[in-house]
Structure 1
Amino acid sequence: MSSSDHSFQMLEHPFPIETPISFKMFTVEGSFQEHAHDFYEIIYISEGKGTLFIHKDSLPFEEGDLFFIPIGMPHLLKAESSPSALPLQMMNCMFQTELLAPQYEPKNELDREFDAIAQFFRQSEAWLRYQDQGGELARIMYNMNFAVNSQSPGFHYKLYICLLDLLNTLYRLQQFSLLSRPDKWVDPVAFTIEYIQVHYRDPLKMEEFCQWLSISPRHLQRKFKETTGYTYTQMLQQIRIQKSCELLINTDRSIQHIADEVGIHDMKYFYRLFKTSCGLTPLHFRQHHARTK
């Protein structure tokens, strides 16, 4: 069976008034009608098993699986039918195309980073599948469910923040899967330093990085500290400050722009870190080097 074997129906969804995001959690009995829609859909399986028929693929799924379904892609979801099967429970997040609209004139690094994420999903013509390994996807989805159930003031905004968190997480996982794992004989400390120097704007978390390297975080931290005198986080901070210094000297970009560009979005933290590392504020550092040119 495939979703391309016969015609399908384009379904509409009643989004709340002036709200481009909708979320619901429900139990599935049997199967859904084959359908497609003109909005994006994210499906998270919170309990049970079944099969997702999508395009020409038949995908068995289980608890912890998450699917991103692009616009116009026909799909059919069917629960497992064995007598011992658990009820199929799923969470659905649906959102309209306007949330991923291109930023034609990004104002800062935050805009540019989000546009890169939005472009990835906007241009995706295929379904995407993720398996929740450490519970990070479940955390976001249950936060969305809590926001909807609480109906507290600002819950629509909470849904939006959770969606941004989810899209960013999925984007990072996708980039993570595209990285080339180093050969096993490569020095992990040297490789880690090289990785941070390239990806300092938005690096993997230490735990994710170690999972990718197939090395224990404790072992890498110990070797890294013994070799460099720094922890992973401290090295990241030093490289970000080094890049900041280069931008302060060689460009006329604003200090906030530079902080965003090196991956630090908390200005108080950036000023404190810079002063600790360089002994000067970013402004005084720029002025000092302008006089010495």
Structure 2
Amino acid sequence: MRKADLLMEKGEYFFTNGFSIFVNKVKERFELPEHVHDFYEICYVVEGSGFHYVEEETIRVSRGDLFFLPIGVSHIFRPASADPNKALVISNCIFDERLFQFLTSILPDQFGMYRFREQLLQRDNWLHMRERSGEFGLVFASLFEEFQQKRTGYETMLCGLLLQLFIQMERALESAEAPVYNRMETILRVVRERLGDKMTLADVSDAVNLGVRQLQRMIAEQLGCSFSELLLSERINLSCRLLEDAANSRRSIADIAAAVGMQDVKRFYRVFKEKTGMTPGAYRVGRGSENFVGFP
């Protein structure tokens, strides 16, 4: 799906009384669509596991992962399971560009924020990092509490906590421990280009010029899953996109199953429902409303 066709989340849906910070905590669901924002967003994985699709990358996530998403970056979280007892819980802090520019320019370069600003010179340069000892989780817990309770001075407190979170991210960049997934780009591209075909680990291994065991190890280390789990996740995510796309509204479920490499329609129905909690037909109907607004 083209980025221009994705749902656009607007800050005006969430910001009130002229204050441009919004904080929430949500259980991710399969029916939420891939989308872009006209605001900045920081997402923190509170509990559970799943996948985060950011632009053209797929990242396995679990508690402690944090993402900084600038304006216009497309993304969606998908839980690893539709089981409510295995929920993927995400805490989000969103804020507008004006506030971001203000908070990141308060201090001179020698006081901090240098690397963070350098990383974000390009509008679409999103960041992924992982906490070392719960430091991101502590700040997010305070952000959520302040936003919910709205005690005297909470607006100023939220700005201070957001600046604290920026500094924690600066420290993570300084330590050079933020995960880098560039090595996976070629592997993921090959997998996505061949989703409609029968595909084995050996096929991908040959295409990327890596040994089978080395490829298995790389996927396990960087995505935290097996090749078969990755392949199934990519196929279900692509089928979700095809079902969401109005251009495919007259396309049969069987055609969409075949397009993602699952010729057995019964198996496609079963796997889709296991992963999303609903049938492909119900998913298509649920996504049919042009007025649907989901966050994040």
- Indicate the TM-score class for this superposition, using the shorter chain for normalisation: 0.5 to 0.7
Map 1:42-53 → 2, pairs under 5 A? 42-53=42-53
Question: What whole-Å deviation, never above 9, does each CA across 1:131-189 have from its counterpart, x for those lacking one?
Answer: 1220111110001011112211111111111100001110121121089xxxxxxxxxx
Note the 1:259-278 alignment, pairs <5 A.
none
1:140–1:154 distance in 2 versus 1, CA, 3 Å? same
Shift of the alpha carbon at 1:71?
Answer: 1.0
* Corresponding residue number in structure 1 for 2:90: 90
State the Cα distance separating 1:99 from its structure 2 match: 2.0
What residue in structure 1 maps to residue 161 of structure 2? 162
Please report how far the alpha carbon of residue 129 of structure 1 lies from its aligned counterpart in structure 2 after TM superposition.
0.9
Superposed, 1:62-77 pairs within 5 Å as 62-77=62-77
1:142 is the counterpart of 2:169: no
1:133 counterpart residue number: 132
Q: What TM-score does the superposition give when structure 2 sets the normalisation length?
A: 0.52
* In 1: Cα distance, 2:42 partner to 2:63 partner: 14
Unaligned 5+ segments in structure 1 are 180-293
What's 2:5 paired with?
7
Contact 1:48-1:85 within 8 A present in 2 as well:
no
Q: Structure 2 matches for 1:68-217, cutoff 5 A?
A: 68-81=68-81, 83=83, 86-101=86-101, 110-112=107-109, 113=111, 116=114, 119-120=117-118, 122-124=120-122, 125-177=124-176
Give the 3-state SS of the residue equivalent to 2:175 in structure 1: helix
Q: What is the CA–CA distance in structure 1 between the aligned matches of 2:115 and 2:160, rounded to whole Å?
A: 14
- Distance across 2 between alignment mates of 1:21 and 1:117: 23
Q: 1:178 to 1:54 in 2, by over 3 A?
A: closer
Whose relative contact order is higher, 1 or 2, with alpha carbons under 8 Å and at least 6 apart?
2
1:113-141: CA deviation from partner (whole Å, max 9, x where unpaired):
46636633541432211112201111100
| Distance (Å, rounded) in 1 between the aligned partners of 2:30 and 2:80 | 8
Q: Deviation string for 1:73-131 (max 9, x for gaps)?
A: 1112111225486112111000111123379xx89xx3444663663354143221111
Aligned residues: 173
Change in Cα spacing, 1:5 to 1:12, as seen in structure 2 (3 Å) is: closer
User: Where in structure 2 are there 5+ consecutive unaligned residues?
Assistant: 179-296
Larger Rg: 1
Q: Percent identity?
A: 24
Distance 2:91 2:140 in 1: 7
Deviation of 1:6 after TM superposition, in Å, equals: 8.5
Determine the C-alpha separation between the residues in 2 that align with 1:152 and 1:102: 23
Q: Is 1:20 matched up with 2:15?
A: no
Residues 215-268 of structure 1 show CA distances to partners (whole Å, capped at 9, x for unaligned) of: xxxxxxxxxxxxxxxxxxxxxxxxxxxxxxxxxxxxxxxxxxxxxxxxxxxxxx
Tell whether the 8 Å contact from 1:53 to 1:76 is kept in structure 2 after alignment: yes
With over 3 angstroms needed to count, the CA separation of the structure-2 counterparts of 1:116 and 1:37, relative to structure 1, is same
Cα gap change, 1:161 to 1:5, in 2 (>3 Å):
closer
Q: Structure 1 pair 121/165, CA: closer, same or farther in 2 (3 Å)?
A: farther
